[in-house]
Amino acid sequence: MASDPDSRILLIMRHGKAEGAAATDHERGLTDKGRSQAQMVGEYLESQGVRPTLVLVSDAVRTQETWESVLEAMPGFAGEVQVTGALYEAGPAEALDLVRAADPSHPVVLVIGHEPTMSSLTDHLAGEESDPGSAAQARIGLPTGAMCVLSGSSAPWSGLAEDSMTLHTVLRS
């Protein structure tokens, strides 16, 4: 899948398990389990030869720490990272707009955000050819640290529409 020039890969991830207490929700960091969940995702991506070329990360502490833990398993990462407050508050439509704004030169985009937005976005994009079990997981919600793997045509990201991608799996720890 990663080497297919005629497809794009969209990775949609919920942050790892977060601490329960902090001054504000925005400042909650990851627990040891959350770091472990994120490292597993990085190891999976590395083992599959899938390297994001663009990473969109909510500016919440827990999502940024999730990305840092994913990154630990991908030495030599050379992609672009955009940390944005828009993803912290985003609903599925706003998150989709952020992905649609990605430059067409990026074949693999990773989005790290929050529930219920990440599962709703996945459910919106997953077409009929999607794995039924993974589609059901997206409909009921993503556990912490879960990542959805979708692929679609090489058309520009700006053309993403409902049911336009195939959901292959939901990686969970």
H, E, C per residue of 110-142? EEEECCCHHHHHHHHHECCCCCHHHHHHHHHCC
Give the global pTM: 0.95
Mean per-residue pLDDT of the chain: 94
The CA distance from 54 to 7, in Å, is 15
Listed by start position, the domains of the chain span: 8-15+30-110+117-171
pLDDT in tens, 132-145: 999 999 999 999 99
The pLDDT value recorded for residue 40 is 97
pLDDT in tens, 40-64: 999 999 999 999 999 999 999 999 9
What's the N-to-C CA distance of the chain in angstroms?
22
pLDDT tier at 6, thresholds 50, 70, 90: low
- Domain range 8-15+30-110+117-171, its CATH number among 3.30.460.10, 3.40.50.1240, 3.20.20.70, 1.10.357.10: 3.40.50.1240
The residues, ordered by sequence, that sit 6+ positions from 93 with a Cβ below 8 Å of its Cβ are: none
pLDDT in tens, 112-171: 999 999 999 999 999 999 999 999 999 999 999 999 999 998 889 999 999 999 999 999
pLDDT in tens, 66-103: 999 999 999 999 999 999 999 999 999 999 999 999 99
